Amino acid sequence: MKHLLTAAALALATLAGAAQAEAPQGAAAPAPTLTYVFSIRADLDPPIEVGTVDGGRRRFIGIRGGEVYGPRLQGTVMAGGGDWQTIMPEGLTKVEARYFLKAADGTVIEVTNPGVRVASVEVVEKLARGEVVDPSLYYFRTTPNFKVNGGALDWMQRHAFVARGIRKPDSVVIDYYVVN
């Protein structure tokens, strides 16, 4: 697990520009950087436990609503989406969240947000029970994809994004970064 955490942290640091690396010979494009664009706070239902499937503990967590805030997007998280999780042995949780945002101008944005949360087995169990856990004790990253009906928010379909998550007892906060 330490190797997975180290590799993931190194990859994020490289994207953020914290690590300077030589570009491959002949490469003309600059190294990617990240720019914070917005956050959401999604209010969550209690988990629905499915049981063990394909070696992992399956569960579904519904989204009741929430808030969207930040420099590039404001609005609400719409009720009705959710997060399908598989908690694997050795501290890996695979997440696949699907939900809708409603921008302040009324535009509906479809979000598909797969990712991973990695922590010690003890921290994973505390998170699964809905306990408060210091976010520095786990790695929670996603790669969101947005679908929007053109207009002023079309930029969301024309860029790649990464996000970091913070799990709270009855909500999740996700900070979104555009990859430049």
Average pLDDT, the chain: 89
8 has pLDDT over 80: no
Cα gap 170→65, rounded to integer Å:
11
Nearest in space to 39 (alpha carbons), one of 173, 179, 180, 178: 173
Residue 17 tokens read as 């520009």
Residues near 63 by beta carbon (within 8 Å), at least 6 away in sequence: 42, 43, 44, 45, 77, 78, 79, 80, 81, 82, 83, 97, 99
pLDDT band at 86 (very low <50, low <70, confident <90, very high): very high
Nearest in space to 146 (alpha carbons), one of 73, 58, 80, 94: 73
* Distances 124 to 48, 111, 128, 132, 179 between C-alpha atoms, Å: 16, 25, 6, 11, 29
Report pTM.
0.84
Cα gap 42→83, rounded to integer Å:
11
75 has pLDDT over 70: yes
Nearest in space to 75 (alpha carbons), one of 127, 21, 146, 126: 146
Strands 108-119 and 75-77: unpaired
Cα gap 164→173, rounded to integer Å:
8
> Helix and strand tally (H, E) in the chain?
2, 11
Return the pLDDT at 23: 58
Instruction: Please state, for a pLDDT cut of 90, what percent of the chain lies above it.
Output: 78
